[in-house]
Structure 1
Amino acid sequence: MGNKTLVYKQKVQDNLNEGYKHFLRLENAFIALQKQYQFPINMDNFKTIVDSIEYLAYSDQIIYRFSKLQDCMGAKLFKSVLLYEGENVNKPFLDILNQLEIIDIINVDEWFEIRDLRNEIAHDYEDNDEIAINILNNIYKLKIDLKETLDAIANLVK
């Protein structure tokens, strides 16, 4: 293994560690909420979550960590994986995603769903309970895909 490959492998590992940190904190916030609420949540559950400082903090943590995880993966981890694989990363992001799909790291359609949810979070959702409920429920559903992607990358660089 060349020196450059070792450097790229370390970069993947560093980005992967950051991704797992965000995922673990996201997962722990869900675990804390699930002691009281079953997902998917409904409007009644959401109203009691918002009325509780503790549970509201957990829901905010979920949204924040999901956003950080998606950013970490999309902005750093994916490119470092392709560099490790000896690929050129000076190309459009869609080409990067397609290359990751070829090596069985992601599903491009699922990634766009994750990215769209991240973009929805970036807009002001706090005044619309329905959107906020939808965001939390979708994060709950999509966190499995994020974990599988992190695990696939971890297996690649073993």
Structure 2
Amino acid sequence: MEGAQARLFQELCKEARIHRQRIEEARRCLQKSPESVPCMDQMIYRFSKLQDTMGRKLFRALLDAVGEWESTMTMIDTLNKLDKYGILDLALWQKLRDIRNEIAHNYEDEAEATRKILSDIEASLPLVDEVLERVENFARMKGVV
């Protein structure tokens, strides 16, 4: 394995963990101030960034670092390979994508939609944490980190 690929993977893991930490900070802020728009925005923004970082960058970097990435692979090919290795479940990942898409289309429209999105984000955090943990464990098992 090439060092540059492993370094990129490690940088993306760090980026994902920072987004996750900021989500947790926003969640705690909302517990204290449930109507705080900056806290809502932070939680929603960081969830979107985390989901994008994982889906568009981290998964590809992981497969590349372990020699499993091919330039012809589509996103669904990448997800299928991760599913094959037990890193994620396609149906559950799609639920995270659905939340991300809901954010992109609805979240500023009305207060009820925003509350639903925040609730969906909070409910999805254990899954996000599990996928991140599996990504990192797989990388350790393959000698990436």
Fold shared, TM-score > 0.5 on shorter chain? yes
| Percentage of matched positions with identical amino acids | 37
- CA contact under 8 A between 1:9 and 1:157: conserved in structure 2? no
**Unaligned 5+ residue runs, structure 1?**
38-48, 50-54
Aligned residues: 139
When Rg is computed on C-alpha atoms for both structures, the one with the higher figure is 1
Equivalent position SS for 2:73: coil
1:7 maps to 4
Which of 1 and 2 has higher RCO (CA within 8 Å, sep 6+)? Answer: 1
Matched, 1:93 2:75: yes
Q: Which residue of 1 aligns with 2:143?
A: none
Unaligned stretches of 5+ residues in structure 2: 141-145
Q: 1:10-25 residue pairs with structure 2 within 5 A?
A: 10-25=7-22
Equivalent residue, structure 2, for 1:34: 31
Q: Distance in 1 between matches of 2:32 and 2:77?
A: 42
RMSD: 1.5
- TM-score, structure 1 as length reference: 0.81
Shift of 1:36: 5.3
Q: Partners of 1:115 and 1:65 in 2: how far apart?
A: 14
Deviations 1:23-58 (A, max 9, x none): 000011102222455xxxxxxxxxxx1xxxxx2111
Question: The residue matched to 1:123 in structure 2 has which SS?
Answer: helix
Selected match of 1:141 from 115, 119, 123: 123
**Aligned partner of residue 108 in structure 2, secondary structure:** coil
Give runs of aligned pairs for residues 52-91 of structure 1, distance below 5 A. 55-89=36-70, 90-91=72-73
